[in-house]
């Protein structure tokens, strides 16, 4: 890979694919970007990025000198030497894996698959997907994995908005369908990232990704339950965590919140529990953590209703409410699986009138879980807006929000992120939930 003469194709120009494109371009490779959405292709080909934290300069520069092109013409996959798949792997309404995007991509690759190509799946999925779903579709061409083409799995490890780690600086786990595939994929990623971590198989690499995210989900469930236990005791769980994390060993801080968001943590545990049933293995601990985290939006709404009742006995029905933040985490515009959307839906079901303010999300996009909220627009955060509300619910603690103004003018502030305390804002009308 020293000559950077391989053409890399990235399938899926989303929160994983675009950083991959930028990383490959910075490493000196020519890149083709593929997406089924013509509008997204057009945006990328204009030199822009719809992802706020991704710099557009490498894309614009590569477009100018001909080293990059985005397209929805999947017949061009045959031009690539390495094809990196970064497509969504959501859950169905029955909480079962939906691999339709992976399957459709595999079928597109198969139409132009040629000897010598490397195909790498990066999408999060259950152990066995690469060999059981991807490999048969590619081998239906008559070409054989490990002989004619090479197949590998390397899980994405993106953390949108994290300024400390980029795609290039995060170690890359790599499992191959055979030694040759692993070595070839490792050689490619050695040219892209700071460190590679080869493992024995594609299934092992798939399991690594699930462990990483289930670890986070379980520990978030733990502190969410601790909050539920400590609150009636008059104990502030955030103060407990801050004190506990001074221990230099044996403890890692996790923080409670209004629910889980993003593509990975709310979804990945269900991939493993679904696959485990094939082997008659119960995943009770993981499922319990999922139940606790899924229940958090309901608990927050109940806490809000209690705070409204205590303040003036008005309850949720007919209340004017303002939600601060609809992105799933601070300082990004990503609303995938955002608990804020669930909170808005639950509050509306209880008869509340709900508006939202988010400096990074001017309009709620179409989402699988809450299509009824699509098109709702962020309202201005000003004295007039705050004075009309019965309560402000802080769901996402973006840095670009004037919380002092919120505390000064809102009659009730329900804080699910502890941001008021972190900023030294106090008041009897501030309630943690």
The catalytic residues are: 264
Report DSSP state, residue 70.
Answer: E
Strand partners, 392: 322, 413
- DSSP state letters, 371-397: GGGTT-BPPP-SHHHHHH-SEEEE-S-
Which three-class secondary structure state does DSSP give residue 394? strand
C-alpha span between 310 and 418 (Å, rounded) = 20
Contact between 154 and 189 (Cβ < 8 Å): yes
The token pair at 51 is: 């992802």
- Give the contacts of 215 (CB within 8 A, at least 6 positions apart): none
Instruction: Find, among 129, 137, 139, 138, the residue nearest to 99 by Cα.
Output: 129
Residue 425, judged by CB atoms within 10 A of its CB (0-12, 13-18, 19+), counts as: middle
Show the tokens assigned to 296. 């958090």
The CA distance from 385 to 321, in Å, is: 10
Q: In 10 A of CB 201, how many CB atoms?
A: 18
Tally Cβ neighbours within 10 Å of residue 411: 14
Q: How far apart are CA 83 and CA 79, in angstroms?
A: 10
Q: Please state whether beta strands 150-153 and 172-176 pair in parallel, antiparallel, or not at all (unpaired).
A: antiparallel
């Amino acid at each position: 890979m020293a000559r950077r003469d391989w053409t890399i194709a990235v399938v899926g120009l989303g929160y994983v694919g675009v950083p991959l494109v930028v990383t490959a371009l910075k490493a000196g490779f020519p890149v083709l970007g593929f997406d089924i959405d013509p509008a997204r292709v057009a945006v990328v080909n204009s030199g822009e990025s719809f992802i706020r934290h991704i710099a557009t300069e490498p894309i614009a520069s590569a477009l100018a000198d001909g080293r990059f092109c985005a397209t929805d013409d999947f017949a061009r996959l045959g031009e690539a030497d390495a094809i990196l798949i970064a497509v969504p792997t959501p859950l169905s309404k029955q909480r079962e894996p939906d691999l339709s995007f992976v399957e459709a991509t595999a079928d597109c690759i198969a139409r132009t698959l040629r000897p010598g190509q490397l195909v790498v799946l990066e999408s999060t999925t259950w152990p066995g997907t690469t060999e059981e779903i991807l490999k048969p579709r590619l081998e239906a061409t008559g070409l054989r994995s490990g002989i004619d083409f090479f197949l590998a799995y390397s899980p994405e490890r993106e953390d949108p908005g994290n300024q400390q780690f980029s795609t290039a600086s995060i170690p890359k786990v790599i499992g191959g369908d055979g030694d040759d595939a692993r070595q070839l994929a490792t050689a490619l990623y050695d040219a892209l990232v700071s460190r590679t971590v080869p493992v024995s198989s594609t299934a092992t690499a798939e399991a690594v990704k699930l462990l990483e995210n289930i670890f986070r989900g379980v520990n978030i469930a733990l502190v969410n339950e601790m909050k539920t236990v400590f609150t009636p005791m008059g104990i502030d769980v955030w103060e407990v965590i801050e004190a506990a994390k001074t221990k230099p060993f044996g403890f890692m801080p996790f923080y409670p919140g209004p629910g889980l968001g993003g593509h990975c943590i709310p979804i990945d545990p269900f991939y493993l529990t679904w696959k485990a049933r094939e082997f008659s293995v119960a995943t009770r601990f993981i499922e319990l953590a999922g139940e606790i985290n899924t229940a958090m939006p309901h608990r927050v709404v109940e806490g809000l209703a209690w705070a409204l009742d205590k303040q003036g006995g008005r309850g949720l029905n007919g209340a004017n409410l303002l939600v601060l933040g609809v992105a799933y985490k601070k300082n990004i515009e990503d609303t995938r699986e955002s608990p804020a959307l669930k909170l808005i839906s639950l509050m509306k079901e209880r008869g509340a009138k709900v508006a939202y303010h988010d400096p990074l999300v001017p309009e709620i996009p179409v989402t699988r879980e809450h299509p009824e909220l699509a098109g709702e627009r962020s309202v201005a955060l000003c004295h007039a807006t705050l004075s009309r509300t019965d309560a402000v619910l802080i769901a996402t603690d973006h840095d670009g929000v004037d919380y002092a103004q919120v505390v000064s003018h809102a009659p009730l502030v329900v804080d699910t992120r502890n941001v008021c305390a972190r900023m030294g804002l106090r008041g009897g009308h501030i309630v943690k939930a």
